[in-house]
Chain A
Amino acid sequence: MRLISRKNLLLFFLPGALFMGAFLIYPIITMVIDSFFEIGITGDKTFIGLDNYIHAFAAGGFLKQLKNTLIYIVVAVGVETAVGLLFALFFELNYKGSKIIRSLMMAPLMIAPLVAGLTWKLMMSSSFGIVNELLARIGILSSSSDILWLADEKWSLLACCIADIWLTTPFMMLMILAGLQGLDSSMLEAARIDGASLLQQVFSIKLPVIKPILLTALSVRIIDAARTFDIIWAMTEGGPNSSSETISIIIYKTLTRYNDIGYASAMAVIFIAVLVVFTLVFMQSLWNPKKKNS
């Protein structure tokens, strides 16, 4: 039986579809077309086939930025997951006031990435930054200007990762806590009676329970980390010497500073294709086992 007539269905669907068509799908199509052209500053287009794509993968292309993006994803998401898991084990405890503590912990969750970037830029400044001052006081650094977080090519990307980790570890913790709610407490009790150590309890009982939710959280985070723009832009603008430049940043710079729309579009097409394939593969492997069960 049809719940809604075909006409009404279309009426419901069209307004939203038109919006997305005009401001999401149309731009994507334009971008794909542009990627096969060389576009001058005046807007004149010359068809150059796959040259933009070849350029992207050649030396001086975006391989460095690709590497930076991968490092950023691995470091930021890796640390977030590990720390988030550790935090979740502590914040899982229920006691008087535990809700307030949990809420406070999640307070930075919704802060603008730009603000997070600015905050860490301030804290990591070489002369008046509080991070180096604290490190020097603890004795890790001999002087507060030992590490130039944002001006040293070795550290700039890591500095951006740290801001990202600060901003999104609460998200990881939140997801893991939600997963742990599905834990059957009698199972844990049984394991305890059988003399399972704390580590064994975590790795053999808790981890398998939260695995599906952890995988989803990972996929969300990997894609978000790949897209990061605001944090890096606020902290280093990709510098120094493009040491913290990721794909998002190079695409934006190619567009606004070098005005090379064709080349930027080619990079964006590759970028989007990779993200979409990743999402679909990931979602498929997540969904299929469940569909078989039900």
Chain B
Amino acid sequence: MKKKGETGKRLGICISVILTVFWLFPYIYVICCSFKPGSEVVAVPPSFFPKVFSVENFTGLLERMDALKFLINSLSVSLISTIIALILGSLAAYAIQRSGAKLSVALVVLVLCLKMIPTSSIAVPIYELICSLGLYDTKIALIIVYAAINMPFVMWTMLSFYEGIPTSLDEAAFMDGASSLQTFRKVILPICTPGLATAFIFTLFLAWNDFLIALLLTSTNAKTFTVGLAGFLSAYNLDLGPMCAGAFLFSFPVMIISLAAQKYIVQGMTAGAVKG
């Protein structure tokens, strides 16, 4: 019986390796394309591997858009908005979870509903609001909007973590004379580090990957990398090489971070489901 299992297992291993290569194919193809000379990207018939290794597309990318500036915009906006969302969201979620008020159930449901709102549908009121505040095309606009939009997600993640922490812990800290804020900062948060890490990574990626809000709220100064990349959509085919280079530059750090922090990503995706 064990022998039969062994061959079956080997077959399974082979298939899973093949599936992985197959699934990564599009991404590897983009990487290959970004190291081809520009003309080879749009050559007919297409080839998979570059015939000539070239960094022409990367220099082309830098010529066509202010790639470095857009990258810095993307990074600073997503980092700052994530930190704001994380601090305010985890505080608010703590208040909701520990209040014990009847209202808190309604608030939890409200948070869940806010998490579901499609960004495309509230884009225009947000646009009008930002314009009337005089913040159009500023990084501040992107930071506050991302922070607000991603806050329900942070709260949702943290709510499920707080539930797992017994209230007796809060009580003990209270007895020892700690203020509410001290209890939260020194007792609750350290236990929730995995939750915070999960929320941090997800929110960071959500803001980093966002396209719609940045498309609406920026024109030149605060333009993020995704909007810059989408600029290649309207351009002619010859620009596809630099587009690949941009796509590679933009998503390579994401791939590396998600490989390194996979534990937290898996936790974030499944935590709500298992406990829910």
Q: Identify the A interface with B (CB < 8 A).
A: 1-5, 8-10, 12-13, 15-17, 19-20, 22-28, 30-31, 34, 87, 90-91, 93, 95, 98, 101, 103-115, 118-120, 122-123, 125, 127-130, 133, 144, 166, 169-171, 174-175, 178, 212-213, 216-217, 220, 223, 226-227, 229-230, 233-234, 237, 248-249, 251-252, 255-256, 261, 264-265, 267-268, 271-272, 275-276, 279-280, 283, 286-287
Contact = CB atoms under 8 A, between A and B. Distances in A.
A271 B84 CA distance: 29
Given A230-B212, A280-B109, A144 B273 contact: no
A117 B223 CA distance: 20
Contact of B120 (A108, A111, A251): A251
A276 B116 contact: yes
Q: Which of B19, B118, B257, B276 has the most CB of A within 10 A?
A: B118
Contacts of B42: 128
A201 to B, nearest CB: 12
B88 A128 contact: no
Interface stretch (B55-63, B65-73, B94-102): B94-102
Interface of B: 9, 12-13, 15-17, 19-20, 23-24, 26-27, 29-30, 33, 41-46, 48, 84, 88-89, 91-96, 98-100, 109, 112-114, 116-126, 128-129, 144-145, 147-149, 151-152, 155, 167, 170-171, 174, 179-181, 184, 205, 208-209, 211-212, 216, 226, 229-230, 232-233, 237, 240, 243-244, 247, 250-251, 254-255, 257-259, 262, 265-266, 269-270, 272-274, 276
Given A223-B116, A283-B112, A9 B148 contact: no
A108 B92 contact: no
A135 to B, nearest CB: 12
Given A28-B117, A111-B27, A111-B255, A101 B44 contact: no
A174 B269 CA distance: 8
B184 to A, nearest CB: 7
A3 B187 CA distance: 14
A268 B16 contact: no
A20 B125 contact: no
B124 A8 contact: no
Contacts of A103: 259, 262
Contact of A106 (B116, B209, B258, B270): B258
A175 B273 contact: yes
Given A12-B95, A27-B125, A118 B243 contact: yes
A140 to B, nearest CB: 16
A3 to B, nearest CB: 5
Given A17-B92, A118-B229, A268-B121, A101 B16 contact: yes
Contacts of A106: 258, 262, 265-266
Q: Which of B15, B23, B144, B258 has the most CB of A within 10 A?
A: B23
A267 to B, nearest CB: 8
Contacts of B259: 103-104, 107
A30 B20 CA distance: 47
Contacts of A166: 23, 26
Contact of A110 (B89, B93, B265, B276): B265
